[in-house]
Chain A
Amino acid sequence: MRLDIRLPLGLLFLVFGFLLSGFGLVSDKGIYQRSLHVNINLWWGLVLVAFGIAMLALVQRSYRRLSRNESSAESHTKSTSAPE
């Protein structure tokens, strides 16, 4: 894969999570009557932040693995070229 999809995905959820949880902290408590008095913006925002971080961590891990493979497999370079 040329662009790791988890990178934009993680970033998007991180931004959404920060927006929602940040809004949850400052918003008027009255609006949560409809969500059964649960501050759904704050809590769900935090879940989205966690998901975003998990995605970015996976991207980080695969980059590290990729660069390790590249340095160890320098002698047989052909093996990494993608099939058609």
Chain B
Amino acid sequence: MLTGIDWIIMIVYFAFVLGIGVALKSYTKTSSDFFLAGRSIPAWVCGLAFISANLGAQEVIGMGASGAKYGISTSHFYWIGAIPAMVFVGVFMMPFYYGSRARSVPEYLRLRFDEKTRGFNAISFATMTVFSSGISMYAMAKLIQTLHVFDAPFQKMGLPLSWVFHAGILVAAAVVLAYIFLGGLSSAIYNEVVQFFLIVAGFLPLVWLGLRNVGGWTGLKARLDPSFTHSWIGMGSAHGNRLGVEWFGLAMGLGFVLSFGYWCTDFLVVQRAMAADSMSAARRTPLIAAFPKMFFPLLVILPGLIAIALPTQSSTTVAAVHGSAVVAPEGTGLIPAKVDPDTGAPVRDSEGHVQLDYDLAIPNMLLHYFPTGILGLGLTALLASFMSGMAGNVTAFNTVWTYDIYQSYINPKATDQHYLWMGRMATVFGIGLSIAAAYMASRFNNIMDMLQLVFAFVNAPLFATFLLGMFWKRTTGHGAFCGLLAGTTSAALHHGLTLPVGAASGIKGGWLATLHTYPSEMAQNFWTAIFAWSACFIVTILVSLATRPHDEGRLSGLVYSLTEKAQSRDLAWYQRPEILAVVALAIALLLNIIFW
């Protein structure tokens, strides 16, 4: 299937990635160079890295899968699930992150609150990044194994095909390790920018060919049930739309709690803005990111929709079972039925319907439309997105480990050179742990649903802590810490007491008892987040009022009412955060109306 030209493209890309690492090595002399890119990156580069760091397995494969499963309403993950939060973090929160000179999000928590709040956040965050990077790696290895695109060289060398999986994990890990080890955050950011353009270059022709094939957006609409092509119609009740969520759960759970929890507090993305060369560049970072972000549904969700709309192809329903190929039952469009890898039998839901392997929507689109040549480019874009998703997690991990765990609790008085060395070591063992996580990750179905779950427990309460911490000076460290504990606990409790309809109790919820049944897993996730956030918000306020307030002098630069407002009047209009924010929100609103 792949020919020489595809291999050349992939090898050229890998050589460039490593070359960037080598070129940046000579600039990486201090720990600040390694962990913060020397705070020297221009706004547009940070902005593209800001979205690329999030553009891993979850985004490309997961969003294509959701596009095929839920239709255009998947774009809620962008238009209300990202844009408002990105605007908010740029306009309102960045002055405190960047202005406080904190080197990480947990460090901001120490400056604003206390040691225990930072410790709680640093340890849970470090664990989560290792886990996410492992999932990214696992998803990539599984995908290249399923696609059989790399089988030929292994067969030629007489190696069993299961080695494709192991080789995928090891090669991705080695490349990411090499470029981060050499150039640290700068290297990760540069590669994220390259990867951003690569994704566009690989997917734009795919969407163009797909749309041309089905007769444009009108042709696509004619082929699909209307529930696929509207994002808001039917949101009145959970049973009227494909997501299985009602508008309130969507707006509050996704649009407010999950989205703000991720884009405003997750160090993985905030780190990209902290690397900016000035306060105004840091504030513009998420705002610049918002513009390409809102058009990404066209690149990643539309291929999923096209894949489900095409006539069913029997040739795509081939699955790997113990390294040999068997013909699986019919799928829908380009999407094959899901097959149990051990028995070769199709996976059925509780009502006996054959389940589809939605994660193959985008890969099968690439294989369907792309001849050799551009196929190499498309696969390279896919590999790049997996690697940068991993790299984003690894750079966030090595920073939090070194500054917030190692320097704070293990070895506080070492030299800067020692911390630089520790950062490189953290990169090595972070990737080692990710590999372990990758091998553990094989039990879960839709990657995105699971990431959302982990995310809801750890991140959902966090935004309440930041909101109160930044905008209410009375919030205390004890309040924040108790709030976070209460939030995470109530997320776990809520998950343990509810179940999505048709699911068995266990990983999907209901492991304590089943008090309530949600119409879908997504609805359950959104409501878990809403409960976590509310519990954290209320407990933080109550405990803060009952404990001694912080000294106001110490809070200057950390809290809204005690900080001088960032001035943007001497900037050109297109550089002013407020103007960029209004334009971004207006375009996002327009997109919602167009795809109503």
A1, A13, A38, A41: the one within 8 Å of B373 (CB): A41
A84 at the interface (CB under 8 A from B): yes
Q: Given A36-B209, A36-B213, A12 and B370 touching (CB < 8 A)?
A: no
B394 within 8 Å of A by Cβ? no
**Interface range on chain A (Cβ under 8 Å from partner):** 20 to 34
Q: Closest residue to B197 on the A side, CB-wise?
A: A9
B374 touching A15, Cβ below 8 Å: no
- The smallest C-beta distance from B240 to any residue of chain A, in angstroms, reads 36
Please provide the chain B residues from 12 to 36 with a CB less than 8 Å away from any CB of chain A in the complex.
12-13, 16, 19-20, 23-24, 27
Tell me if B277 is interfacial: C-beta within 8 Å of chain A: yes
The docked-state distance in angstroms from the alpha carbon of A52 to that of B580 is 27
B201 touches A13 (CB 8 A): yes
Q: Decide: B369 and A35 in contact? CB cutoff 8 A.
A: yes
Given the known interface contacts A34-B368, A83-B277, the answer about A8 and B373 at a Cβ–Cβ threshold of 8 Å is no
Least Cβ distance of B485 to chain A in Å? 36
A23 touching B39, Cβ below 8 Å: no
Q: Which of B40-48, B69-77, B324-332, B343-351 contacts A (4 or more CB under 8 A)?
A: B40-48
The CA-CA distance from A31 to B38 in the complex, in Å, is: 48
* Distance of A41 Cα from B372 Cα, bound (Å): 9
How far is it, in angstroms, between the C-alpha of A35 and the C-alpha of B45 when the chains are bound? 33
Q: Are B277 and A2 in contact (CB under 8 A)?
A: no
Residues 94-118 of B contacting A (Cβ, < 8 Å): none
Contact A5 B371 (CB under 8 A): no
- B533 adjacent to chain A (CB < 8 Å): no
Give the interface SS of chain B, mostly helix, strand, loop or mixed: helix
Docked pose: A8 CA to B369 CA in angstroms: 29
Quick one: CB contact mask for A6-32 with B, threshold 8 Å, 1 for yes?
001101110110011001100100011
User: Does B8 make an interface contact (CB < 8 A)?
Assistant: yes
Q: Is A19 touching B209 in the complex (CB atoms < 8 A)?
A: no
Give the size range of B's interface with the partner: 35 or more
Name B24's closest neighbour in chain A (CB-CB): A3
For window 46-66 of A, CB contacts with B under 8 Å fall at 48, 51
The residues of B that contact A27 with a CB separation of less than 8 Å are: 371-373
> Are A36 and B212 in touch, CB under 8 angstroms?
yes
Chain B residues near A19: list those with CB within 8 A: 5, 8-9, 12
Asked if B205 CB lies within 8 Å of chain A CBs, one says: yes
Alpha-carbon distance between A16 and B186 when the two chains are bound, in angstroms? 23
Contact check, A8 vs B194: say whether CB atoms are below 8 A apart: yes
Q: Is there contact, CB below 8 Å, between B205 and A15?
A: no
Indicate if B278 sits at the interface (CB-CB under 8 A): yes
Q: Cβ of B23: which chain A residues have Cβ within 8 Å of it?
A: 3, 8
Identify which of residues 337-384 in chain B touch chain A, using a CB-to-CB cut-off of 8 Å: 368-374, 377
Contact of B45 among A5, A34, A48, A82 (CB under 8 A): A5
Q: B370's contact among A23, A40, A51, by CB below 8 Å, is which?
A: A40
Nearest opposing residue in chain A for B200, CB measure: A51
For B23, give the chain A residue with the smallest CB separation. Answer: A3
Report chain B residues within 8 Å CB of A83.
39, 277-278
B200 smallest CB distance to A (angstroms): 10
Closest A-chain residue to B44, C-beta based?
A5
Asked if B209 and A2 make an inter-chain contact with CB atoms under 8 angstroms apart, the answer reads: no
Query: Is B193 in the interface zone, CB < 8 Å from A?
Result: yes
Question: Which B residue sits closest to A8, measured CB to CB?
Answer: B20
* Contact flag A9-B27 (CB < 8 Å), given A1-B42, A34-B369, A83-B277: no
| B403 at interface, CB cutoff 8 A | no
B371–A41 touching, CB < 8 Å: yes
Given contacts A5-B194, A34-B369, 17 further A-B contacts (CB under 8 A): A3-B23, A3-B27, A5-B193, A8-B19, A12-B12, A20-B373, A24-B373, A31-B371, A31-B372, A31-B373, A34-B371, A41-B373, A44-B201, A44-B205, A44-B377, A83-B39, A83-B278
Chain A residues packing against B (C-beta within 8 Å): 1-3, 5, 8-9, 11-13, 15-16, 19-20, 23-24, 27, 31-32, 34-36, 38, 40-41, 44, 48, 51, 82-84
